[in-house]
Structure 1
């Protein structure tokens, strides 16, 4: 089987009957280990879900950085 893309989703319970869901999808390149790619994607999603939310819309948000997922 050839895996070309992977996705990971996590739902975080915020309390008061609220939740937040984040899903990310990544393309697996030919020489990349799929297991490592899944680990990196999972770390990325979990890091972003746990990142503090800024009350100011103009403040820097690392979610929108163009940074490779292996930096997490």
Structure 2
């Protein structure tokens, strides 16, 4: 299964990166680099999915990321 991850620098704490999965808000983490944040978030995702499996709850479907261009005046 593949889930879409968002990885971005924390606007309030420069140098800290956040990784999150929009389809599963409970699975998120941070790190000192994009790669570190994503690695930690992947561990959180695996834990959340294991919990869902153990409790018989369905896994949420992934979300579709779509870029939207706007003209900012």
Report TM bin, short chain.
0.3 to 0.5
More strand by share: 1
TM-score, normalised to structure 2, is 0.37
